[in-house]
Amino acid sequence: MSSSVVENTSSGNNGTKVIVATGKRKTAIARAYIRPGIGRVWINRKPLPLVEPEIARLTIMEPLVLAGEKALKVDIEVKVRGGGFMGQAEAARTAIAKGLVEFFKDEDLKRKFLEYDRSLLIPDVRRKEPKKPLGRGARKKRQTSYR
C-alpha cells in the first residue's frame, strides 16, 4: 500500500510490530494503532461494546466481522477527532480496514473489503461546498425581480 495509508511501522515497547493507519470521512479523522493481541478494540479509550449509538458501533464492526478470525489476532486502538458520530464511525472503520490489510499483507482480505464496500479502503473525497456571498448557502440565492 502507499505510504499515506500507513504512517508508521514501528516496534512497540516490547518489540512488537505496530501499524498506524488513518481514515477520513467529512471532517472526522481517525488513527488506528494495530498490534498483535487477543482481539480487543478500543475507540477513544472506550471498549467497542460500550460505543453508542448502536448504528455507529455496527458500522465500526464491519471490517472486524469481514476479517473473521484474523481480527482476533490483533488489538486495535482507534483515536478519532472531529465531525459527528457517524463521520467518526466511518473514519474509524476505514482506518481499521486499512490497518488490517497492511498488518496481514493479505490480498484476499483486501479484495473482500473492496467487494463488500469500496469506502472501507478508499476514502470518500466529497466535501461541503463553501458558502458564497449574496446567498444563504453554497447555491441558494435571494430571489430577484426584474420588473
Q: Is there a domain that residue 84 lies in? A: yes
Return the pLDDT at 16. Answer: 79
**What cell was used for 31?**
488513527
- Expressed as residue numbers, the domain containing 33 is 19-120
d(CA 92, CA 56): 10
Q: What percent of the chain lies above the pLDDT cut of 70? A: 90
Residue 146: Cβ-neighbour burial (10 angstroms; 0-12, 13-18, 19+): exposed
The pLDDT tens digits for 116-134 are 999 899 988 888 899 988 8
The pLDDT tens digits for 56-90 are 999 999 999 999 898 899 999 999 999 999 999 99
Q: For residues 1 and 123, which has the higher predicted lDDT (pLDDT)?
A: 123
Measured in residues, the chain has a length of 147
Instruction: Report the number of distinct structural domains present in the chain.
Output: 1
Tell me, what CATH number does 76's domain have? Answer: 3.30.230.10
Q: Is there a domain that residue 105 lies in? A: yes
**What cell was used for 143?**
430571489
Q: Is there a domain that residue 112 lies in? A: yes
Q: Contact, 76 vs 23, CB < 8 A?
A: no
Of 104, 97, 92, 96, the residue nearest 118 (C-alpha): 97
Q: For residue 1, what are the CA distances in angstroms to 15, 22, 135?
A: 23, 13, 43
**What cell was used for 39?**
482481539
Q: Is there a domain that residue 92 lies in? A: yes
Q: Is there a domain that residue 128 lies in? A: no
Share the mean pLDDT of the chain: 87
Q: Is the pLDDT of residue 142 over 90?
A: no
Q: Is there a domain that residue 143 lies in? A: no
The pLDDT tens digits for 37-58 are 999 999 999 999 998 899 999 9
Of 72, 119, 91, 77, the residue nearest 22 (C-alpha): 91
Return the pLDDT at 4. Answer: 37
